[in-house]
Amino acid sequence: MTEPGCILVIDDEPQIRRALKNALGEVFERVVEAGTATEGIDLAATAQPDLIILDLGLPDMPGVEVCQEIRRWAATPIIVLSARHAEQEKVSLLTAGADDYVTKPFSTRELIARVQAHLRRARAQHTIPSDGPLEVGDLTIDLARRVIARGEERLRLTPIEWNILRALVMAAGRTLTHRQIFEAVWGRGPGDPQQYLRVHVTNLRRKIEPNPGAPRYVVTEPGVGYRFELTA
Amino acid sequence: MTVRIGRWVLWFGMVALVTAVLVPVRSEADQSYIPLAYLLIVLGGSLGAGHRLGFALATVSFLVIDFFLQTPYNRVLTFGRPADFVTLAAFYAVAGVASRLLASARHERDLALLRAEQVTALSLERERLIAEVEHVAALREAERMKDFVLTSVSHDLRTPLTTIKALAQEEQRTGTSRAAEIEEQADRLSGMVSDLLDLSRLRSGTFGVEAELNAAEDVIGAAIRQVQGILNGRTVSAVIDARAPALYGHFDFLLTLRILGNLIENALKVTAPGSAVEVSPSRDERGLVIGVADRGPGVPEVERERIFEPFYRPQGGPPDHGRAGLGLAIARALAEAQGGSIGSRPRAGGGTVFEVILPAADEPGPDPQPGPGRILVDS
């Protein structure tokens, strides 16, 4: 029993490509593969995949450029695979349009879970801001009416907390960098975005999370930013 | 000193000699030649030994001429003719000019010597600086090479590990019984690679520390999230008092996350399935304290410090206990790199509490002015 969806794997290591193809093929309808960035970009256009898995160590083009190239004409979710555990690289990739970042060695189970989460998010995308309140866990969030409730209890957020939550919810499932959130809330400008953001996120979590020390909704992507989890 | 006295004796001897020669012939000799003889002595003395001898010779010569060689003989300061004073003035002038020439010649010589010394010193300094610059460049190059090697080693090791892991997972799905063990060992190897890289970066001091204002519960939440995959029926819970204000510290988020990750992993190793590891922040006079508490067998007093040594294995511990015994050593080095510390104490009711102590901070002041706000619209 496979889920609908086409996954494009761009990786120059044939073994990883094979392993990913086998693992993903058990879950999804169709898996296409490319061994170079050029071939991958072509396939991204011709095969119309629902999601792209992109290895950063490609010989013919830097990963950031591949992301930017695909983002010029497609909103397809991109999950990046990297052997380096470097936060700065994550930030630049997310800014270039990648949706997620998985560090090697990863488990295929985890990767499949992330692929499913991004596919769900991509399908739900259009429904989030417009179609009435969003229900996630015990939270009900109505972006249009600026109302948030936990169970029956209505929560009071400050305008800044509300703006942070709105930015995160509208990109739910995708990590926003500190800078991206800061610009969405305070506008472009100088200042250390992280410090203020951390304090407001801490306050926001204390209002919406059952346990602020183990957040379910607003999770931290260490060194990169925050993400709103729809699967909480 | 003896040289100078010798010169004085020599030149006054010359005066005496010339006088001795001239006195017997003083009546026949041409009076205009006599001062010339002495003038030569004054000139010689001034050039040979400077202005003091020059003027002394000029004075003495004048007196000798006046006393012995000028009529009336054998009488001092006869002031016979005004021309005598012209002679005296000429003697002094010669002494003065000659010794001035001498002095300036000496000065130039000294200056030349000094310059020569300076040039030598400068060229030595230049050579030293060049050597130093070359040394620094070599060190930088070595550091760069080391970073490059570490990065490529980590990349080259992680890529095949990913393949091994992926293949093992594939085999697990087809029912191969030992595939799970292969995956586990691949994970262990990858953990060891990270540890060794971190330890070598810590040792070489290339670990960048970015201490910033952070909430304790933020880093605790991230750490707990990170260990979800290795729980195996055990739980890790954050114990936060939501009624009390949030606790903040001045620390590097990623390094602290690494410390907590290592401590929680260690705590999980001694925690039985069904039990919990508790992580809780507090603030006291030592600073911001994050405690990781387990219900394990505890750490004997004698081992309390030794467990933080690299590659230390507790007595009688299982052979695969800990990743090559590096976790706690790395945690301590990371805490100290941020101006913090790490230690352990027995837990009431059994078990151990590992405590990370970091510089505490207060909640910051007012926000920057809220701007118009750009709404993020997902493409």
Question: Both A105 and A141 in a single domain?
Answer: no
A152: domain CATH number?
A: 1.10.10.10
Question: Both A28 and A49 in a single domain?
Answer: yes
Residue A141 structure tokens: 């969030």
**CA distances in angstroms from B148 to A16, A32, B279, listed in the order given:** 24, 34, 37
- What's the rounded Cα separation, in Å, for the pair A109 and A136? 24
- What's the rounded Cα separation, in Å, for the pair A81 and A100? 9
List all residues of chain A from 200 to 229 with a beta carbon under 8 Å from chain B.
201-203, 205-206, 211-215, 219-220, 222-223
Question: Both A131 and A221 in a single domain?
Answer: yes
Q: Which residue has better confidence, B108 or A105? A: B108
By the 8 A CB rule, do B336 and B330 touch? no
Residue found under tokens 């630049």: A92
- Indicate the pLDDT class of residue B121, thresholds 50, 70 and 90: very high
Q: Provide the residue ranges of all domains of chain B, joining segments of one domain with +.
A: 2-118, 145-204, 212-361
**Considering chain B, what percentage of its residues have pLDDT values greater than 90?**
28
By the 8 A CB rule, do A119 and A51 touch? yes
Say if residue A94 is exposed, middle or buried (CB neighbours under 10 Å; 0-12, 13-18, 19+).
buried
Mean pLDDT over B42-53 rounds to: 83
pLDDT of residue B46: 84
Q: Which residue has better confidence, B212 or B170? A: B212
- Indicate the pLDDT class of residue B218, thresholds 50, 70 and 90: very high
> Measured at the alpha carbon of residue B138, what is the angle toward residues B136 and B141, in degrees to the nearest 5?
110
Query: Edge-to-edge strand order for the sheet containing A176-177?
Result: A176-177, A225-228, A218-221
pLDDT of residue B205: 67
B234-261: per-residue pLDDT in tens?
999 999 988 889 999 999 999 999 999 9
Q: How many domains does chain A have?
A: 2
pLDDT of residue A193: 64
Among the partner-chain residues B155, B237, B364, the one whose CB lies closest to the CB of A199 is: B364
- Indicate the pLDDT class of residue B307, thresholds 50, 70 and 90: confident
pLDDT of residue B314: 66
Question: Both A120 and A25 in a single domain?
Answer: yes
Nearest to B295 by CA among B318, B273, B315: B273
Question: Both A34 and A93 in a single domain?
Answer: yes
Question: Both A112 and A195 in a single domain?
Answer: no
Q: Which CATH superfamily is domain B212-361 in?
A: Histidine kinase-like ATPase, C-terminal domain (3.30.565.10)
Pick out chain A residues at pLDDT < 70. Answer: 1, 85, 125-131, 189-193, 231-232
Mutation target for B interface from A106, A202, A228: give the one with most B CBs within 10 A. Answer: A202
Among the partner-chain residues A185, A188, A215, the one whose CB lies closest to the CB of B221 is: A215
Nearest to A181 by CA among A208, A200, A205: A200
Question: Both A89 and A180 in a single domain?
Answer: no
Cβ contact (<8 Å) for B155 and A16? no
Question: Both A95 and A27 in a single domain?
Answer: yes
pLDDT of residue B373: 43
Single out the residue in A76, A105, A124 at which a domain terminates: A124
Question: Which of A186-190, B197-201, B223-227, B287-291 has the largest mean confidence?
Answer: B287-291
Q: Which residue has better confidence, B326 or B296? A: B296
Question: Both A132 and A168 in a single domain?
Answer: yes
Single out the residue in A95, A124, A153 at which a domain terminates: A124
Which structural domain, as residue segments, surrounds residue A25? 3-124
pLDDT of residue B376: 42
